[in-house]
């Protein structure tokens, strides 16, 4: 088996292996991509919560990006949590030097429990400077609310908020519906031409650790090897759905999902 493409992941480490860089590498690898990394923070955590976060210096993040991609040129870049304005500016400076336009931003800002993960200043920088430089952003509902100041209670509100993100300079928005209380979850993909709603039955489980990181990495992998946007989102959402459905049940809290379910996906959707 050969690698289909090369992906650079810029994100934080999750010691429990279910989210962050670890989820990203597992996803990219199991979908046939070659993963490179620039680590933005080191967290000590498990399925029950986060114990500590050690941010990596912005210069060190920039070096990881530039030195690895100077040697092996990535076909696409996935960006996860960036904790400060300085880090965001360093990442912008570094990615300018890389040729690919396939840059996917998961604007991680708010933890599952509702806690804000990045500073107010960093949020503003992300809004004013980074969104415009990416191909796709994948906020969840609380993140879209924070970015647009639009309260989201239904799909119409999701569309309204996604439209506002387009006005702010985003090219494509996938607003994720994992936080909806309904029986069916709807993810909304929007750009200036199209609107597409992906609907899935909500799986009743507590094992949803890292669903967001996993989804953005899966979409990045599909885009990196030339699949169109709608197809990439559709396959990414299916991959996450199957991964939740077959989660191994590890840990005492919100357990990880099954990143190696791609074998089944390859058989079904290729």
Ligand X SMILES: Nc1ncnc2c1ncn2[C@@H]1O[C@H](COP(=O)(O)OP(=O)(O)OP(=O)(O)O)[C@@H](O)[C@H]1O
Which of 33, 139, 210, 212 is the binder for Mg ion (CB under 5 A)?
212
Minimum Å gap between C-beta 205 and ligand X is 6
Minimum Å gap between C-beta 137 and ligand X is 11
91 in Cβ contact with 10 (< 8 Å): yes
β-pair type (5-14, 184-190): unpaired
Whichever of 74 and 212 has its CB closer to Mg ion, that residue is 212
Counting contacts by CB under 6 A, is residue 238 touching ligand X? no
Q: Would you name the residues annotated as active-site residues? A: 176, 208, 210-213
Whichever of 129 and 238 has its CB closer to ligand X, that residue is 238
Q: Which does 20 bind (CB under 5 to 8 A by kind): Mg ion, ligand X, none?
A: none
Of the candidates 140, 125, 24, 129, the one whose C-alpha atom is nearest the C-alpha of residue 80 is 24
Per-residue binding string, ligand X, 46-65, x by CB under 6 A, is --------------------
Q: Which does 32 bind (CB under 5 to 8 A by kind): ligand X, Mg ion, none?
A: none
Minimum Å gap between C-beta 25 and ligand X is 15
Count residues near Mg ion (CB under 5 A): 1
Whichever of 6 and 176 has its CB closer to Mg ion, that residue is 176
Counting contacts by CB under 6 A, is residue 19 touching ligand X? yes
Which of 32, 169, 178, 253 is the binder for ligand X (CB under 6 A)?
178
Whichever of 125 and 217 has its CB closer to ligand X, that residue is 217
Minimum Å gap between C-beta 267 and ligand X is 21
Given the rule CB under 6 A, which residues bind ligand X? 19, 112, 140, 176-179, 185, 187, 200, 202-203, 205, 208, 210-213, 215, 237, 240-241, 244
Given the rule CB under 5 A, which residues bind Mg ion? 212
């Amino acid at each position: 088996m050969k690698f289909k493409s090369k992906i650079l992941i810029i994100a934080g480490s999750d010691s429990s292996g279910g989210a962050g860089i670890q989820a990203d590498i597992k996803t990219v690898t199991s979908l046939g991509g070659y993963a490179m990394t620039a680590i933005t923070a080191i967290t000590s955590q498990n399925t029950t919560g986060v114990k500590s976060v050690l941010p990596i210096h912005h210069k060190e993040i920039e070096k990881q990006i530039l030195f690895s991609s100077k040697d092996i040129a990535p076909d696409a870049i996935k960006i996860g949590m960036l904790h400060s304005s300085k880090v965001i500016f360093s990442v912008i400076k570094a990615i300018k030097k890389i040729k690919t336009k396939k840059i996917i931003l998961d604007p991680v800002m708010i933890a599952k429990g509702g806690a804000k993960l990045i500073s107010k200043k960093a949020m503003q920088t992300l809004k004013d400077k980074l969104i415009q430089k990416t191909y796709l952003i994948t906020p969840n509902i609380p993140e879209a609310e924070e970015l647009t100041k639009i309260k989201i209670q239904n799909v119409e509100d999701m569309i309204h908020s996604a439209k506002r993100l387009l006005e702010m300079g985003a090219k494509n928005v996938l607003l994720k519906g994992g936080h909806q209380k309904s029986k069916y979850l709807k993810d909304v993909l929007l750009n200036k031409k199209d609107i597409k709603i992906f609907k899935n039955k909500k799986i009743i489980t507590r094992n949803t650790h890292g669903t967001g990181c996993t989804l953005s990495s899966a979409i990045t992998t599909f885009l990196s090897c030339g699949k169109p946007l709608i197809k990439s989102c559709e396959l990414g959402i299916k991959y996450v759905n199957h991964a939740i459905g077959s989660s191994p049940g590890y840990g005492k809290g919100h357990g990880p999902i099954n990143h190696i379910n791609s074998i089944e996906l390859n058989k079904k959707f290729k």
